[in-house]
Amino acid sequence: MAYSDKVVDHYNNPRNVGTLDKSSTEVGTGLVGAPECGDVMRLQIRVNPETQVIEEAKFKTFGCGSAIASSSLATEWIKGRTVEDAMAIKNTDIVKELSLPPVKIHCSVLAEDAIRAAIGDWKKKNGVAETAAAETSAH
């Protein structure tokens, strides 16, 4: 399979690889996917409690090149956004940016899930779970 230049670039030089302290109240962790499906993404955010801006984002991914690229791109995009802004990122944006072929769309879905899971975890820790639930049901 031929990969787009952007996928190759993210694969060769993944952005924001790493681990944040998941016990910190400022950190939200999303772990999505399953090993038996061939992809697992862990995306973490550190949110400024005053501004609700995502100041740091880190990921680690077990998966194909497109999965690695999708999660790498996701961390780039959410950094500097508020949590509400970050929730607006759609998997279709990732598909477009990385020119993912149809068989790789699930990688982008997983990246969107990872963003939501990380934000959900942060909200839960900081007592804003109800807002998150309301927003989810609105979709």
* Residues involved in catalysis: 37, 107
Nearer Cβ to another protein, position 9 or 26? 9
* Closest separation in Å from C-beta 31 to another protein: 7
137 CB burial (10 A radius; 0-12, 13-18, 19+) = exposed
E strands along the chain, which residues? 27-34, 39-47, 54-62
* Closest separation in Å from C-beta 112 to another protein: 12
Q: Which two tokens stand for residue 80?
A: 């500097």
Instruction: List residues bridging with 43 in a β-sheet.
Output: 30, 59
Binding string, residues 13-52; x marks residues near another protein by CB under 8 A: xxx-x-x-----------xxxxxxxxxxxx----------
Q: Decide: 45 and 56 in contact? Cβ < 8 Å.
A: yes
Site of interaction with another protein (CB under 8 A): 3, 8, 11-15, 17, 19, 31-42, 60-65, 67-68, 103, 106, 109-110, 113
